[in-house]
Chain A
Amino acid sequence: MIRPARQPLTVLLYLATALVVLRGTGTATEELPTFFVPPPPFSEGIFPCSECHADMEVNQKPRELTEHTEIAKSFKHSPQQRWCFDCHNPDNRDVLRLANGDLVTFEESYKLCGQCHGTIYRDWKAGVHGKRTGEWNGKKLYRLCVQCHNPHNPRFKAIAPMPPPDTPLLIHNQKHSGGSIRKNPLGKIE
């Protein structure tokens, strides 16, 4: 007699327990990807930095650069408040340095960016900021921040759009010229 009344209760209890357990195991935002593709996008021949810098004397003073002039010229990442060693490590150029002095490799550069861009970092870890490819319920391929943003000039550059769809007028003309007059190279049929 009591059974029908008790069953839903039991189910509810189980559900509540399950919810607590699920919540306790942490959220997806804390799980970091274990691999990235492709590796950091170094310009050709620039890495390892120690190849040149190992024997050089470290000059920490902000100045007009005589090397890496192309970076200096296009640099636009709060240039007033920024200098190379805010991110690069003066003692070993093959790694980056966080504000607290911790060293991170170029493969983990997202930690460096995340210091200032905290909300973006949080979204990125959750898989919401940035591009993902792969499986929606399996392996996802993340990208480093620098795979889309140039760290020295991070704003997205404008790109050429793909062709617009055929306008009704074009379709109309096509019909009356008795064949395909498509100019659109992507939709071309010989």
Chain B
Amino acid sequence: MNANNTDDKLEKTFTRRGFIKGTAASAAVLAIPVGSTDASVWQSFFQNNFHEMSPEELQDTIHNLAKKYREKYQADFTIKTNGPRPDTLFGYGLDLSRCIGCRRCVYACVRENNQSRDPQIHWISVLQLKKGEKGVSDLENANMYYAPDEVPEDGYFYMPVQCQQCENPPCVKVCPAKATWKEKDGIVVIDYNWCIGCRFCMAACPYGARHFNWGEPRIPKEELVTETHYLGNRPRYRGVVEKCTFCIQRVRDTPGRYPACVEVCPVGARKFGNLLDPKSEIRYCLEHKRVFRLKEELNTSPKFFYFFAT
């Protein structure tokens, strides 16, 4: 009896769970370089998910991030954390009968959102499709590598594709870390510090809108945009996923600016506004144009509307 009791006690003291906990904790301590155990390292190690941070925590996080960016890029970054505006649901319209496939939007987006130049990341892909064939129901035959001397080419139309900001986003559903979510104003965002790089979301997205940083992102110093948002265009890390956020750093300003792709489009094919405002440009498109949504049958309910204006 006595011997048995001792065994029980021993078992209780060294449980499997306790052992794993202890190992994990010591591994965590060891993982932090001893020489640089200043507050910021600890802070980023134990940093919470963006939407679980208290205002003070957020302040600390932003401060540390800016410090790290300064070390890395020798530039002073402004990192905004402003939340969704009330009574706002962002919607986007794209006039396919205007788009000429010039790719100005692609590079304006790269610049505004600090996308890596090498390895190359483009949040917008412009697809070239043959007129009078299967339309947009068969994207297999679309070409995104077209490079003629001049566009538009006869017999083709162009369809830029970027994040469709779905109301029912499959990418959010599959994220095992809850590192991506839909904000109240309808923008699907990513906490790059919380993303574990598993790329489930990329597999789930039917639009190919999410992109992975396979290597250390590289941006020329003179082209850095230092006016950033935590959930938007701040520089990313190797091993995280990124995507279009409707230029969250611009559209959430007061008053809100147009996204970079809208402003650069030389033919005015891109429209943007508040879906809840009956007087907005996007509502006018919905009410007066025949709009369609890409891969509507998947029930993702995008807030990105394509139309053919007269």
| Chain A residues within 8 Å of B, Cβ to Cβ | 22, 27-29, 119-120, 123, 126-139, 148, 156, 158-167, 171, 180, 182, 184, 186-190
Contacts and interface: CB of A to CB of B under 8 A. Distances in A.
B218 A134 contact: no
Interface in B180-234: 218, 220
A59 B277 CA distance: 53
A161 B268 contact: no
A136 B309 contact: no
20 contacts: A27-B279, A119-B310, A126-B288, A128-B95, A131-B268, A132-B262, A135-B258, A136-B255, A139-B255, A159-B102, A161-B146, A161-B150, A162-B103, A164-B146, A164-B147, A180-B118, A184-B120, A187-B118, A188-B117, A189-B117
Chain B's interface: helix, strand, loop or mixed, by majority? loop
A29 B284 CA distance: 9
A161 B151 contact: yes
Contacts of B257: 134-136
Given A164-B145, A165-B144, A189-B118, A158 B258 contact: no
Interface of B: 93, 95, 100-104, 106-107, 110, 117-120, 122, 125, 144-152, 218, 220, 251, 255-258, 262-263, 265-268, 271-274, 277-281, 284-285, 288-289, 309-310
A165 B281 CA distance: 31
Given A136-B274, A137-B274, A156-B267, A162 B107 contact: yes
Contacts of B122: 165
A142 B276 CA distance: 23
A188 B220 CA distance: 8
Given A128-B288, A136-B255, A136-B272, 12 more contacts: A22-B278, A131-B267, A136-B256, A148-B268, A159-B151, A160-B149, A160-B150, A161-B148, A162-B107, A163-B103, A164-B103, A189-B117
A180 B117 CA distance: 11
